[in-house]
């Protein structure tokens, strides 16, 4: 049915109420609806009470295509006198199709409708049968004539359309109209000369806006602009008119934009659309704005349509390189080839993907910019912190933010939820159970992928109780339970530290519960505080989703629970490896399906000069990655456009038995290859070439289908489109291939710093920091301590008669040789004390080595290698070292040659006069020296005063005394006297008061209280109160003794100072002691001077 300026209406609804649904199949005819224009009316409900519901064809496009539309009409809520009621409006009512009731206007729908159905009533059939309920207003026919619109395509730089202009028809004006669509944001649409000599008019696109420029005599007379975002690939109408001295340009009528100017314009004899002829063919057309690539249609000159078919037949105007009677524009973003939320935009010939804020990169946003696990970040040399991980790489699972703890032997991934605190629970009136749900910081699929990919996962589950039972007995019904596992989880009735299904706690499994008749401490139901806690380690039950506590309704019941964060370590995919020991050995897997996007990543190490890593064939298509020479990796493929190869050359050999990383990617835009950190090699895909990679054979890894040019070596962490191939599982059943691949220190050993040694592991490596003064995953964390005047760290070396004995002590406590021809000494310090003794080494033969600051705040090294002679003093030229800042010192002696360096200052060289042997060394002391017999008399006064400040990473040859005292006090020959507190005072960050600190929340520690009941009230016991009182008493007593000892020390020092007054030795002048401590000092001394 064709509707013009007409409509028809249904007078009474069949049900007597205005509730229902209307379905129609419609097609619009001219004039088309332009983007931004208001849609015409299509259907309107009206009632006798004046209420109206309107449904318009907002979904109808201007493409003259048939559209299937369905709309439902419910019963609205009406408000009467402030009250809301719901009901349907009663008849009489009308349904108007094509216009509002009783209104004939330009806004009425003009087009074709068919299959117009209302609540099962075919209105078309009713209209044909002339039923009374259907009334027709205006001209309605039961046929629909197809409109004819001829389009023309401007595909390239040589395209143009030239049309003659009849100047006699409008000598003092111009009227030109057309529609265009394009993806480009610039290009010439129309140009013509003014009748006056030297004038020209350009109508063009710039920055996706319509612009008009009129130039005459080399200068611009007028510039206008209208519209925006006109490069959206949709049809846009343009009107250029000049009447009565007024010039107007309009885009998409008034909705799109209109610009006016008071300048009369008339056209010359020729109009050029889309471009200009070649320069040698035309002197009348100039195009400084670039060619137009797109389509035009509905061209009108002076309101007369242009017959483009006559143009095609060369009967009208002229053209070049046009495609007439079609629009050849291609929508390259529908469907979008951009992945992972990348935003697609395009020009005439190409599309682009904006990958910003998506977490992915590449031409189609295919490749993740993040690593897949904390393990991978560690092996890139990162230390602990928050990282985004993408567990499936280029797969559909998005990245997630986790915390990576790399301070232990294993690298832990920590995923928090909304309540990791210890939370108290008390009885509430009318509440029989307390339930809590845990929301994790990652999505469900991310969480499950992490658990599946990790070697081990665990989660702490703790319950502290007083008169609050937990599981009761294995025979009875449990009071409490938890839900864990995928989705909302399954009910679990065992507790942390026990086995699934056991209905026990850890004490029941170990047989040490407080009541042998029960299998949980809390089930004893005692009035004293008890605890059941442990780790949940079964992956099928992780993570904990909910917790239900049942025995909390009694007035005497008190409890507190804690569910810790999910912690996982290891990456099964990262270390999944296979070793190919023959060129004829290979593994085979199912066909790789990467039709539109394919990425392949792996690590390899080899000593062979060449070999094929993998290959997959099709009938014609194929992919292959190979080591084509000792310095070259090649990625070759064919998707139907002929073979293509991308190569990356390395400046160093790749067959060095070290791990190298390869990543190859192919998509509809380009093929790329990345090797280690070298620049990426890329080759663009052919324009309008084949898109689909079609493979059908098995995927061969480590060889080819022909069993030639196989690979000898290791391949690890092989992933195709984010899916890891299990090389180890397939290698275990394949001759000539072995699962796993040892030997990681050759590649990752350089990550171990500060004399740390790389130790091989089955999956990865470990930095052994036994011979280093540092600790941490890479031996990079300083070991520092704050010293007070009474603090002493004494390290005893091997006695001379013990030199032949074996020792099984830890590496940090290995005894040095008793006679040395050289030393390597290093430490870092921070102090405001001068003079100050930093380090003192004594021997059984009266020889010594001292490292100190003199009264000028300069560094001195005192060697006494001959017991019958005085000490040789080596003074550094640097001053002002007692400034409260961190300074690093290193001393190196070889025989009589000594090298001294402070921070990054130039090295200073000295020579000793002694024989160069340090014999029978006895002990090394940091801080105060208590035994005056071991101290050189020149230093006895200074040694007795102790050291106030910070010492860090102290190393004497292979011995780290401060590290031994702090980390291995029970297995090392070290004695600590006085307060010794480990701190971060030796880190570079702590040297800067404005540096960010690593804040660790109490909620991460078992025993901290959450936002529920304060745990100080929930778990306090009488014994805890008594213990607290005892601790306070001990603290007061210790403080009193320390003050008394300090006073006596000062009195003794003053007395000795008076005895030595007037006796000044030249070598001791620089040891005058002054206390210059600021607010950062640990303690404050009186500004007295001691002359030693």
**Residue 784's closest CA among 901, 930, 949, 923?**
949
Question: Hey, which of 100-109, 122-131, 159-168, 179-188 has the most confident mean pLDDT?
Answer: 179-188
Q: With 90 as the cut, is the pLDDT of residue 563 above it?
A: yes
Of residues 322 and 935, more confidently modeled: 322
Stretch 317-324: mean pLDDT, rounded? 93
**Residue 318's closest CA among 196, 164, 424?**
164
User: Given this model, what pLDDT does residue 255 score?
Assistant: 66
End-to-end CA separation in angstroms for the chain: 117
Question: Hey, which of 84-93, 606-615, 1046-1055 has the most confident mean pLDDT?
Answer: 606-615
Q: Which tens digit of pLDDT belongs to each residue from 786-796?
A: 999 989 999 99
**Residue 716's closest CA among 707, 705, 708, 728?**
728
User: Given this model, what pLDDT does residue 496 score?
Assistant: 92
pTM exceeds 0.75 for this model:
no
Mean pLDDT estimate for the chain: 78
The C-alpha atoms of residue 734 and residue 732 are separated, in whole angstroms, by 6
Stretch 213-231: mean pLDDT, rounded? 88
Q: With 60 as the cut, is the pLDDT of residue 1075 above it?
A: no
For 109, half-sphere exposure in the C-beta direction (CA atoms, 13 angstrom radius) is 30
839, 847 in Cβ contact below 8 A? Answer: no
**In 10 A of CB 69, how many CB atoms?**
16
DSSP string computed for 35-85: TTSPPPEEEEEEETTS-EEEEE-TT--SS---EEEEEEE-PPEEEETTEEE
Q: With 80 as the cut, is the pLDDT of residue 26 above it?
A: no
Q: With 90 as the cut, is the pLDDT of residue 871 above it?
A: no
Q: Cα angle at 470 between 464 and 475, to 5 degrees?
A: 155
Q: With 90 as the cut, is the pLDDT of residue 353 above it?
A: yes
Three state DSSP letters for 212-225: EEEEECCEEEEEEE
Q: With 80 as the cut, is the pLDDT of residue 595 above it?
A: yes
Q: Which tens digit of pLDDT belongs to each residue from 921-971?
A: 889 999 888 876 667 777 888 888 889 999 998 999 888 999 989 988 888
The C-alpha atoms of residue 495 and residue 507 are separated, in whole angstroms, by 10
**Residue 666's closest CA among 341, 369, 394, 398?**
394
**Hey, which residues does 352 pair with through a beta bridge?**
345
Q: Which tens digit of pLDDT belongs to each residue from 52-82?
A: 344 444 344 444 444 555 555 444 433 333 3
The C-alpha atoms of residue 312 and residue 299 are separated, in whole angstroms, by 14
245, 260 in Cβ contact below 8 A? Answer: no
The C-alpha atoms of residue 857 and residue 836 are separated, in whole angstroms, by 9
Of residues 724 and 108, more confidently modeled: 724
Q: Report CA-CA distances (Å) from 385 to 34, 239, 382, 455.
A: 54, 61, 8, 21
Lowest-pLDDT range of 13-17, 971-975, 1082-1086: 1082-1086
Asked if omega into 543 is within 30° of 0 (cis), the reply is yes
User: Given this model, what pLDDT does residue 282 score?
Assistant: 62
**Residue 749's closest CA among 736, 762, 763, 760?**
760
Q: Which tens digit of pLDDT belongs to each residue from 97-150?
A: 766 555 555 556 667 777 777 777 777 777 777 777 777 777 777 766 656 789
User: Given this model, what pLDDT does residue 369 score?
Assistant: 92
Stretch 214-221: mean pLDDT, rounded? 84
- Position 338 confidence tier, pLDDT thresholds 50, 70, 90: very high
Q: With 90 as the cut, is the pLDDT of residue 298 above it?
A: yes
Q: Cα angle at 227 between 223 and 231, to 5 degrees?
A: 110
State whether residue 1077 is helix, strand or coil. coil
User: Given this model, what pLDDT does residue 43 score?
Assistant: 45
Rounded percentage of the chain residues whose pLDDT exceeds 90: 37
User: Given this model, what pLDDT does residue 399 score?
Assistant: 92
The C-alpha atoms of residue 842 and residue 1030 are separated, in whole angstroms, by 40
The C-alpha atoms of residue 326 and residue 809 are separated, in whole angstroms, by 88
- Produce one character per residue of 1056-1087: b if its CB has 16 or more CB atoms within 10 Å, e if not: bbeeeeeeeeeebebbbbbbebeeebbeebee
Stretch 341-351: mean pLDDT, rounded? 89
State whether residue 14 is helix, strand or coil. coil
- Position 94 confidence tier, pLDDT thresholds 50, 70, 90: low
- Position 221 confidence tier, pLDDT thresholds 50, 70, 90: confident
How is residue 1021 written in tokens?
Answer: 């016991």
Q: With 90 as the cut, is the pLDDT of residue 1002 above it?
A: no
User: Given this model, what pLDDT does residue 13 score?
Assistant: 41
Of residues 523 and 115, more confidently modeled: 523
Q: Which tens digit of pLDDT belongs to each residue from 239-269?
A: 999 888 888 999 987 566 788 888 888 888 8
Of residues 254 and 761, more confidently modeled: 761
User: Given this model, what pLDDT does residue 75 score?
Assistant: 41
User: Given this model, what pLDDT does residue 490 score?
Assistant: 92
Query: In what helix (H) or strand (E) does residue 986 lie, and over which residues does it extend?
Result: none
Q: Which tens digit of pLDDT belongs to each residue from 301-320?
A: 988 999 999 999 999 999 99
User: Given this model, what pLDDT does residue 23 score?
Assistant: 45
How is residue 570 written in tokens?
Answer: 């290891």
465, 522 in Cβ contact below 8 A? Answer: yes
The C-alpha atoms of residue 558 and residue 423 are separated, in whole angstroms, by 11
């Amino acid at each position: 049915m064709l509707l013009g300026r007409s409509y028809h209406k249904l007078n009474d609804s069949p049900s007597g109420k205005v509730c229902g649904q209307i379905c129609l199949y419609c097609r619009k005819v001219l004039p088309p609806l332009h983007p931004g224009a208001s849609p015409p009316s299509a259907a309107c409900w009206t009632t006798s009470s004046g209420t109206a519901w309107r449904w318009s064809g907002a979904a109808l496009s201007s493409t003259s295509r048939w559209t299937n539309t369905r709309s439902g009409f419910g019963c609205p809520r009406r408000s009467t006198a402030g009250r809301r009621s719901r009901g349907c409006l009663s008849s009489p009512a009308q349904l108007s199709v094509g216009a509002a009731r009783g209104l004939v206007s330009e806004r009425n729908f003009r087009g074709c409708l068919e299959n117009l159905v209302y609540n099962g009533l075919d209105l078309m059939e009713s209209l044909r049968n002339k039923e009374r309920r259907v009334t027709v207003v205006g001209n309605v026919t039961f046929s629909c004539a197809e409109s004819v619109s001829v389009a023309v395509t401007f595909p390239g730089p040589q395209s143009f359309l030239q049309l003659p202009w009849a100047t006699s028809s409008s000598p003092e004006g111009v009227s030109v109209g057309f529609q265009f669509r394009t993806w480009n944001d610039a290009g010439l649409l129309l140009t013509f000369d003014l009748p006056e000599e030297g004038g020209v008019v350009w109508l063009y696109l710039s920055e996706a806006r319509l612009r008009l420029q009129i130039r005459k005599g080399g200068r611009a007379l007028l510039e206008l602009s209208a519209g925006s975002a006109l490069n959206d690939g949709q049809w846009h109408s343009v009107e250029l008119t000049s009447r009565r001295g007024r010039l107007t340009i309009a885009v998409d009528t008034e909705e799109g934009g209109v610009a006016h100017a008071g300048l009369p314009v008339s056209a010359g004899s020729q109009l050029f659309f889309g471009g200009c002829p070649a320069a040698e063919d035309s002197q009348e057309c100039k195009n400084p704005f670039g060619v137009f690539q797109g389509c035009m249609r509905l061209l009108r000159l002076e309101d007369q349509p242009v017959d483009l078919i006559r143009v095609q037949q060369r009967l009208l105007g002229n053209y070049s390189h046009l495609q007439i009677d079609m629009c050849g524009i291609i929508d390259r973003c529908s469907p979008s080839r951009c992945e992972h939320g990348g935003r697609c935009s395009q020009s005439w010939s190409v599309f682009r993907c904006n990958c910003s804020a998506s977490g992915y990169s590449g031409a189609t946003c295919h490749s993740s910019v993040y690593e897949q696990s904390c393990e991978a970040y560690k092996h890139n040399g990162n230390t602990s912190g928050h990282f985004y991980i993408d567990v499936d790489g280029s797969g559909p699972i998005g990245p997630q933010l986790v915390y990576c703890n790399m301070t232990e032997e294993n690298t832990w991934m920590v995923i928090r939820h909304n309540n990791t605190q210890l939370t108290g629970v008390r009885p509430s009136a009318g509440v029989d159970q307390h339930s809590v749900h845990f929301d994790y910081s990652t999505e469900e699929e991310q969480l499950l992928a992490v658990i599946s990919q990790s070697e081990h996962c665990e989660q702490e589950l703790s319950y502290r109780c007083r008169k609050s039972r937990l599981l009761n007995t294995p025979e009875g019904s449990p009071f409490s339970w938890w839900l864990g596992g995928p989705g909302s989880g399954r009910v679990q009735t065992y507790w942390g530290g026990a086995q699934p299904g056991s209905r026990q706690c850890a004490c029941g499994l170990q047989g040490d519960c407080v009541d042998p008749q029960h299998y949980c401490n809390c089930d004893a139901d005692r009035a004293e505080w008890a605890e059941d806690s442990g780790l949940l380690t079964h992956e099928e039950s992780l993570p904990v989703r909910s917790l239900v506590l049942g025995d909390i309704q009694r007035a005497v019941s008190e409890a507190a629970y804690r569910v810790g964060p999910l912690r996982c370590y290891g990456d099964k995919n990262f270390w999944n490896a296979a070793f190919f020991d023959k060129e004829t050995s290979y593994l085979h897997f199912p066909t790789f399906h990467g039709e539109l996007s394919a990425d392949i990543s792996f690590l390899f190490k080899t000593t062979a000069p060449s070999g094929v890593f993998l290959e997959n064939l099709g009938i014609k298509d194929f992919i292959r990655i190979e080591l084509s020479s000792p310095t070259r990796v090649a990625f070759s493929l064919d998707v139907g456009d002929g073979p293509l190869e991308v190569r990356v050359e390395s400046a160093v050999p790749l067959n060095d038995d070290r791990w190298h990383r390869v990543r190859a990617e192919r998509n509809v835009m380009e093929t790329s290859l990345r090797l280690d950190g070298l620049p990426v090699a890329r080759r663009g895909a052919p324009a309008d070439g084949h898109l689909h990679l079609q493979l059908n054979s098995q995927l061969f890894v480590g060889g080819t289908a022909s069993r030639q040019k196989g690979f000898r070596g290791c391949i690890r962490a092989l992933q195709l489109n984010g899916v890891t191939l299990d090389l180890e599982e397939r290698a275990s059943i394949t001759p000539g291939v072995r699962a796993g691949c040892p030997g990681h220190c050759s590649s990752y050993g350089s990550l171990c710093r500060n004399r740390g040694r790389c130790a091989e592991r089955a999956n990865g490596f470990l930095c052994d920091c036994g011979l280093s003064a540092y600790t941490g995953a890479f031996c990079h964390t300083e070991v520092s301590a704050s010293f007070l005047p009474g603090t002493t760290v004494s390290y005893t070396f091997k006695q001379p008669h013990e030199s032949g004995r074996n020792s099984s002590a830890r590496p940090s406590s290995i005894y040095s040789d008793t006679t040395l021809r050289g030393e390597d000494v290093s430490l870092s310090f921070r102090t405001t004390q001068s003079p100050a003794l930093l380090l003192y080494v004594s021997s059984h033969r009266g020889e010594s080595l001292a490292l100190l600051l003199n009264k000028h705040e300069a560094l001195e090294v005192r060697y006494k290698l001959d017991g019958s002679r005085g000490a040789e003093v080596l003074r550094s030229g640097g001053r002002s070292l007692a400034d409260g800042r961190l300074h690093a010192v290193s001393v190196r002696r070889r025989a009589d040659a000594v090298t001294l360096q402070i921070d990054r200052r130039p090295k200073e060289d000295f020579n000793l006069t002694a024989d160069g042997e340090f014999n029978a060394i006895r002990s090394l002391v940091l801080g105060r020296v208590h035994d005056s017999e071991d101290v050189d008399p020149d230093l006895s006064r200074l040694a007795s005063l102790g050291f106030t400040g910070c010492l860090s990473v102290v190393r004497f040859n292979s011995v780290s005394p401060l590290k031994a005292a702090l980390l291995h006090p029970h297995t090392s020959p070290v004695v600590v006297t006085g307060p010794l507190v480990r701190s971060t005072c030796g880190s570079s960050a702590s040297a800067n008061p404005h540096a960010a600190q690593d804040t660790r929340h109490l909620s991460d520690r078992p025993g901290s209280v959450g936002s529920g009941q304060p745990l100080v009230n929930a778990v306090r016991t009488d014994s805890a109160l008594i213990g607290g009182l005892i601790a306070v008493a001990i603290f007061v007593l210790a403080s009193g003794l320390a003050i008394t000892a300090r006073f006596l020390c000062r009195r003794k020092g003053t007395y000795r100072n008076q005895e030595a007054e007037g006796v000044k030795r030249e070598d001791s002048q620089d040891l005058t002691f002054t206390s210059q401590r600021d607010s950062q000092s640990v303690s404050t001394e009186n500004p007295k001077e001691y002359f030693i």
